[in-house]
Amino acid sequence: MKSKMILMMGGQGVGKGTHARRLIARDGYGYVETGAILRGLPPESPVAQIMARGELVPDADLFDVIAAELDKSGDVILDGFPRTLGQAQWLVQKYVDKFDIRVIYMDVPEDIMLARIEKRIREGGGRADDADAAIVRRRLDAFWKTTMPAIEWLRNAPGVKFADVDVTNENPDVNFERISAALS
């Protein structure tokens, strides 16, 4: 039987990590949190410097890292990968035979993303790349320009089940219920 792979997709601050951790606590998936893996690299490394500018890390620097995680995974949730069309196509081509791939697209307007990032700062979830408005803007631009084409491609990719989930409710429990319903 194939393992399950859930891709949590959406812009900054939509709640990908929060809801991923909740699904994991409930259902026991493995967790591949790309941003956290990359933040573990030494600050002087080229990848860390790209991240500090709010830009995307080149696809080629990620494939080995992600493959190492997935090759040892059973049921798994990916948070922050894929973020480009190339990453999406690589992932589906390489893993569609091993995993049932489901996409949860957490659709949220930009003003709500910005409000949630501000809340994350206020609540001390302190990440260096959240604190600077220009860097937040660059990450949002990368989402619309580079990640949206990947999401649109996944919507119709063979072997992929895609769900649009409205997570704009102010109550995270309501949003989590909607994600659970989309997965059931």
Binding site for ligand AMP (CB under 6 A): 34-35, 38, 50-51, 54-57, 62, 80-83, 87, 129, 139
Least distance in Å: CB of 166 to ligand AMP? Answer: 21
**Whole-angstrom Cα distance, residue 172 to residue 150?**
26
Least distance in Å: CB of 139 to ligand AMP? Answer: 5
Least distance in Å: CB of 184 to ligand AMP? Answer: 26
Contact 71, 98 (CB under 8 A): no
**Whole-angstrom Cα distance, residue 82 to residue 45?**
22
Specify the residue, 126 or 177, whose C-beta has the smaller distance to ligand AMP. Answer: 126
Specify the residue, 124 or 184, whose C-beta has the smaller distance to ligand AMP. Answer: 124
DSSP state of 9: E
Least distance in Å: CB of 63 to ligand AMP? Answer: 10
Q: Nearest residue by C-beta to ligand AMP?
A: 35
Specify the residue, 51 or 104, whose C-beta has the smaller distance to ligand AMP. Answer: 51
The SS3 call for residue 164 is: strand
Instruction: Give CA separation, 56 vs 14, 17, 19, 41, 153, in Å.
Output: 18, 18, 23, 15, 19
Least distance in Å: CB of 81 to ligand AMP? Answer: 4
**Whole-angstrom Cα distance, residue 184 to residue 182?**
6
Specify the residue, 117 or 179, whose C-beta has the smaller distance to ligand AMP. Answer: 117
Specify the residue, 160 or 173, whose C-beta has the smaller distance to ligand AMP. Answer: 160
R_g of the chain computed on alpha carbons: 16
Q: Phi then psi for 120, rounded to 5 degrees?
A: -60, -40
DSSP state of 74: S
